[in-house]
């Protein structure tokens, strides 16, 4: 009975990690595709220029693939070093996620202030040579969220040194519409618009976070159970 349960547990872990590995392949593939075909879409941050959607997906996909491969091969072969490596890596990621959440809610005001200041610095690079990624990113955000600037549309006045905004701030897009009457511009701040969108989708984000945490906990339990079984079996064999 116990042997049958362990066999089912092992098969379950193999299936779980195979899906995990395939998801990693998909995430990595999307990241590479974005990097090749949409390389001009980058980050809004001036201090973290490498923090683009493509780079984040590539990094996440690679990590998921490595962890999934370790777990899958370790479960099939009942290899203790691989199972232990899988457990340690997954536990480390799980603890880092908890630490990140705690720090985020503990220093939310400071993070808000830093993010706003950093985004305003990024505005200074809008339209400049070598920053087409940042320029396109701001244009897409302002168009999709119907907003203008970080905390106010007047943020752009300091960039242009005049009462002007990018054309992506216009209610009706046209060339040089950012030079026209302010009544034809979006005036909502982009930072608050994006933050509001995240709050509107907070339930979905929490469901995703809880599902991710549950999956990681199951992976930790499965791997440690199989690891302990292999240790016990080895001790019995050499006894």
How many other β-carbons are positioned within 10 Å of the β-carbon of residue 20? 22
CB 216 within 8 A of CB 90: yes
Which residues pair with residue 170 across a beta bridge? 185
Helices and strands of the chain, counted as H and E runs: 8, 0
Q: What is the dihedral of CA 182, 183, 186, 189, to 10 degrees?
A: 70
For the cut 70, the answer to whether the pLDDT of residue 170 exceeds it is yes
Mean pLDDT value across the chain: 84
Phi, psi of 48 (to 5 degrees): -125, 70
Gap between the Cα atoms of 150 and 123, Å rounded: 9
Gap between the Cα atoms of 226 and 80, Å rounded: 9
Mean pLDDT (whole number) for 191-198: 91
Please, is 74 exposed, middle or buried when counting C-beta atoms within 10 Å of its C-beta (0-12, 13-18, 19+)? buried
The DSSP symbol for 170 reads B
Inter-CA distances, 101 with 12, 92, 112, Å: 30, 14, 15
Query: Model confidence over 11-61: pLDDT tens digits?
Result: 878 888 888 888 888 888 888 887 776 554 556 666 666 666 777 888 888
Gap between the Cα atoms of 209 and 61, Å rounded: 17
Tell me the pTM: 0.77
Mean pLDDT (whole number) for 223-239: 71
Question: Which positions ≥6 away from 77 have C-beta within 8 Å?
Answer: none
CB 29 within 8 A of CB 52: no
Long-range pairs for 201-209: beta carbons < 8 A, 24 or more residues apart: none
Q: Which residue has the tokens 């590539």?
A: 58
**Whole-number percent of the chain with pLDDT over 70:** 88
Note the Cα 91 to chain centre separation in Å. Answer: 19
């Amino acid at each position: 009975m116990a042997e049958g349960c362990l066999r089912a547990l092992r098969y379950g872990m193999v299936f779980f990690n195979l899906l995990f590995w395939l998801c990693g392949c998909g995430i990595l593939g999307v990241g590479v595709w974005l990097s090749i075909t949409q390389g001009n879409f980058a980050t809004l941050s001036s201090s973290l220029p490498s923090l683009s959607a493509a780079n984040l997906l590539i990094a996440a996909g690679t990590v998921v693939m490595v962890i999934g491969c370790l777990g899958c091969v370790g479960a099939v072969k009942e290899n203790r070093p691989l199972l232990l490596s899988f457990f340690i890596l997954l536990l480390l990621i799980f603890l880092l996620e908890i630490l990140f959440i705690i720090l985020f809610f503990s220093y939310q005001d400071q993070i808000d202030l830093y993010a706003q200041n950093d985004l305003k610095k990024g505005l200074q690079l809008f339209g400049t040579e070598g920053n087409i990624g940042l320029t396109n990113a701001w244009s897409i955000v302002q168009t999709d969220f119907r907003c203008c600037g970080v905390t106010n549309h007047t943020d752009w006045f300091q960039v242009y040194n005049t009462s002007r905004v990018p054309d992506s701030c216009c209610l009706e897009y046209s060339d040089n519409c950012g030079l026209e009457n302010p009544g034809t511009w979006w005036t909502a701040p982009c930072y608050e618009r994006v933050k509001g969108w995240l709050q509107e989708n907070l339930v979905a984000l929490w469901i995703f976070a809880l599902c991710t945490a549950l999956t990681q906990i199951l992976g930790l339990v499965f791997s440690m159970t199989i690891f302990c079984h292999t240790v016990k079996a080895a001790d019995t064999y050499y006894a």
